[in-house]
A and B are shown apart, each in its own frame.
Chain A
Amino acid sequence: MQRENNLIISIGAVLMLLPIWWIAYRNTNFIADPFVVAAALPDFLMQPDTWSNIAITLYRVALGLAGGVVLGTLAALAMTQSKLAEQVLAIYVTTALRTPSAIAAIMALAIFRGAEIGYIVVVMFITFPFMAVGLRDGLKSADKDLAEAAQIYRLGPLRYIRHVLLPFIAPFIFSALRNAHALAWKVIVVAEIFGAARIGFGAQFDHAWEYMQMVQVHLWLLVFMAIVLAVEYGVLRVAERHVFRWRA
C-alpha cells in the first residue's frame, strides 16, 4: 500500500515535468513542442538505427563502468590497508579526479587512435576515482567492533571483506555506484562528442544539435533519461531493497 502510494508520487513527479516542458516550449526558442516530439517518438523507436546507437553506448558505459568500479574498489581497499598505498594512490586518484572529462576523452582517443577501447578507458578513468573516494571514506568509518568479531572468529580477509566490510559500507557503495553510473553517462557523451564518435548516443545527439534538429535532440534526451531511470529503478533500487532488507 505504502509502496504503491510512493509509486504514484514518483510517477506524478515525472508527469509534472510535462507541463513544465510545455511552458518552457512556449517561452523559449530552443525547446521543442512536446506534442511534436511525442508524435515523432514511435517512428524514432521503430528505427533499428536508434537501437544500435543506444546499444553501442550502453556497451561502452557498461564496460567502462565495470572497470571503474573494480579499479576504484581495489584502490580504496589498498588505500585503507597500507599507508604507503594510500599516499601513492591518493595522488593517482587526485590526478584522475581533477582531469577534465573532455581532456581525458581527447587524450584517450589520441592514445588509442579512436579505437573502441578508448571510450571504455575514458569512462573507466573518470569513474574510478569517484568510486575510490566514496569507498575509502566508507571503509574509514568501518565498525571496529565488527572487525574485532571477525578477527576472533578467524574469518580471514576474503570472508571479512565479503560479509562484514562490504555490507557495512554498502550505503557508501550504493551512493558511489549511483553517482559513478550517472557520471559514466555524462562522460560517454562528452567522450563521444569530443572524440568524434561515428555511432553512439553522444554522436547522434551532437549531430542533431549541430543541425539544430531540436526534435531529434529531445528524442535522444528522452531515450537517455529513460535508460538512466531504468537503471535507477530496475537495477539500483531493486538491489538496494535486497541488500538493506535487514533494516526491517
Chain B
Amino acid sequence: MALSTPLQGAAMTPRRKVGTDRNVRLLGVTLAVASLFAIWTVLSITVRPWVPTPYDTALAMGRQLVSHSFYDNLFLTLGRVAAAFVAASIVGAVLGIAIGMNRKVEAFFQPLLALALAVPDPVFIIFAILALGTGEAAGFVALTMAVAPFVSNIVRSSVQARDKGLDEMTKIYRIPADKAFWVSLVPQLVPALLTAARFSFALSWKLVVVVEAIGQPDGIGAAIFHSFRLLRMREVLAIAILFIILMQLLEKGVLGRVEKRLLRWRQ
C-alpha cells in the first residue's frame, strides 16, 4: 500500500538531517540573493536613475557603516520600533483575547478596531503630532494605535478557534482563571501570537518610517526620507537594506528561538 499524497502538510514532512538542512539553507539563500540581485541590476539599467546600481548602493552602504549618524539614527529607530512593537503587541493581544473570549466585548470593539484599521497612517500620525506635539510621545502613541488592531485581529481569530473542551476541563478542575489562561489558552494561541509578533514587528518598522518622515527630524526613517527628498536613491536603498538585514537578524534570533522552545510538544 504505497500511499503517497504529494501534499501532506508541514507536520508530515519527514525530518531531514542537519547537514542537508544547512546545504538547503545555503542554496536557498544563494538563489534568493542571486535572483534579487539580477532583478535589481535589470531595474537599475531600465529605470535609471530611480533605481541605483548595486555597485553604487554597496559603496553607499560602506559609507553609512562608517558614519556616526547612521548608528545614532539606528539606535533611535530601533528604540522606537521596539517600544511600539512591545506596546502594540501587548495592547493588541489583550484586546484580541478579550474580544475572542466574550461576544459582548467583541461587539463593542470590533467596529472600533475596523475603524482604527481604516485610518490612513499619515492621518494617525498627523493627529497625534497635533495632539501631543512632535516629541517621542506622538510617534509612540500613533504607532501603537495603528499596529495594535492588527495584532488583535490575529489573536482574536485564534482565541475563537480554541479547543473549548480544554476550557471545560479547567473549569471542572477549578483551575483559577488566571492560571487557566496561562496554561490552557495561551499555549493554544502560541502560533497566532508568533504571527502577531511578526506582523507587529514588520508594521512598527513600516510605520516608524512614515512617522519619522512626517514628524521626526532623526532616525532611520527620517534619514531614508531625507535622502529620498534629495533624490539620493542609493542612500535610500543602502540605509534601508542595512536596517532590513539587522531587523531580520533580530527577528530570526529572538522569535525563531522562542518559537522552537514554545512548540516543543509537537515534536
Contact = CB atoms under 8 A, between A and B. Distances in A.
* Contact present between A and B (CB < 8 A): yes
Interface of A: 2, 5-7, 9-10, 12-14, 17, 28-30, 80-81, 83-92, 94-95, 97-103, 106-107, 110-111, 129-130, 133-134, 137-144, 146-148, 150-152, 154-157, 160-161, 165, 171-172, 174-176, 178-179, 182-183, 185-186, 189-190, 193, 202, 205, 221, 224-225, 227-229, 232-233, 244, 247
A12 to B, nearest CB: 7
Contacts of A182: 114, 117-118, 149-150
A9 B28 contact: no
Contacts of A179: 117, 150, 153-154, 199
Contacts of B33: 91
A21 B248 CA distance: 40
Interface in B187-229: 191-192, 194-195, 198-199, 202, 205-206, 209-210, 213, 221, 224-225, 228
Contact of A228 (B9, B25, B114): B114
Interface residues of B, number: 78
**Main secondary structure on chain A at its contact with chain B?**
helix
B6 A157 contact: yes
A175 B131 contact: no
Contacts of A141: 191
A148 B224 contact: no
**Main secondary structure on chain B at its contact with chain A?**
helix
A53 to B, nearest CB: 15
B51 to A, nearest CB: 7
Please give me the 10 A-B residue pairs with the lowest Cβ-Cβ distance, nearest first: A87-B28, A228-B118, A182-B117, A6-B107, A91-B32, A157-B7, A110-B50, A147-B9, A9-B107, A175-B157
Contacts of B230: none
Contacts of B110: 10, 232
Contacts of A138: 191, 195
Contacts of B127: 30
A187 B225 CA distance: 17
Nearest to A29: B130
Interface stretch (B10-18, B56-64, B135-143, B168-176): B10-18
Nearest to A147: B9
Nearest to A2: B103
A48 to B, nearest CB: 24
Given A144-B9, A160-B5, A190 B194 contact: no
Given A228-B114, A228-B118, A100 B221 contact: yes
B14 to A, nearest CB: 11
Contacts of B51: 107, 110-111
